[in-house]
Copies of this chain bind each other. A is one copy, B any other.
Amino acid sequence: MRSSEKGKALEDEGRQALSRGLATAWGVKDRPGKGPKPGLSLERIVEVAVQVAETEGLSAVSMSRVATVLGAGTMALYRYVESKEELLMLMMDAAFREHPLPPAPDEPWRVAVERWARQHLAVLRKHPWVVRIALGGPPITPNQVVWFERGMSSLSGTGLPEMAKLDSLSLINGWVRHEAMLEADLREAERRAGTNAAEALTSYWHTLGVLTDVQRFPALSALVAAATSDAAATSDAQFTFGLERILDGIAHVGKRRGPQRRTPRSVRQKRNHPPAGT
């Protein structure tokens, strides 16, 4: 497939599959230029919506709020976007406007993948509202697709079959999102309670300790004891731990271990869905 063919293909069938805002985002649009010139632009709308989310949280993002900031009527937005859900999708895409660096040549896959994951996490930390948006399927918006591409290419050094790479990326992606969600929860808890994160955590362990007795909850009791004696809180350590485990796990695909063995063949077995998120 050459690029020109793609352009034609997009014009022909891309638009019928893609919704209004998505088509604009991909730069596929028939501008017949018939009626009055559009007074707004999708870019501005998304930009304003992001700004609102950034400063007042995702819950402050409403169609009327965004329209008011733009000095337009609420319904004007629906000329550019099919629904609020689509706006959210595009906001999310905007958050990934800055692309991750492509893997350097000869870079070990492990380094490349770790960088990708950390850059992903950095984006989600910078825009905490992103993880509050339910991703409604696999990545389809322009920037998300770029991240998807870069993620896959950072895994190419593993030599895994395509589908195993996909599954691996999904695993990493899930971990990044999970971590970002926890952090967002914690931040919100501290904002609501007016305390800092460390206090919120201490208070959690305390409450859990009160709620659980040793007989019924031996494992938790041990955990609470260990947690309360240990002090400082860094989410980074938890994230790093999980990431290392995942990378170790990927590195060991196909290596036999212990009694039950699984060769990489087991990996190819069936099809599954693509990773959502980035």
Contact = CB atoms under 8 A, between A and B. Distances in A.
Interface stretch (A40-48, A65-73, A119-127, A163-171): A163-171
Nearest to A215: B3
A161 to B, nearest CB: 7
A274 B204 contact: yes
A220 to B, nearest CB: 5
A227 B162 contact: yes
A245 B250 contact: yes
Contacts of A171: 175, 241-242, 245-246
Contacts of A216: 149
A253 interface: yes
A188 B136 contact: yes
A38 interface: no
A251 B242 contact: no
B148 A220 contact: yes
Given A137-B189, A226-B163, A241-B164, A211 B14 contact: yes
A195 interface: no
B211 A26 contact: yes
A231 interface: yes
A213 interface: yes
Interface residues of A, number: 105
Given A132-B134, A145-B208, A174-B242, A226 B161 contact: yes
A271 B227 contact: yes
Given A185-B276, A276-B181, A217 B149 contact: yes
Contacts of A196: none
A10 B231 CA distance: 24
Interface of A: 1-3, 6, 9-10, 13-14, 17-18, 26, 132, 134-138, 140, 145, 148-150, 152-153, 156, 161-168, 170-171, 173-175, 177-179, 181-183, 185-186, 188-189, 197, 201, 203-205, 207-208, 210-220, 222-223, 225-227, 230-239, 241-242, 244-253, 257-258, 262, 267, 269-276
Given A132-B134, A247-B249, 14 more contacts: A136-B188, A137-B186, A140-B204, A145-B211, A153-B219, A161-B226, A167-B237, A171-B242, A171-B246, A173-B178, A175-B175, A201-B274, A233-B272, A239-B272
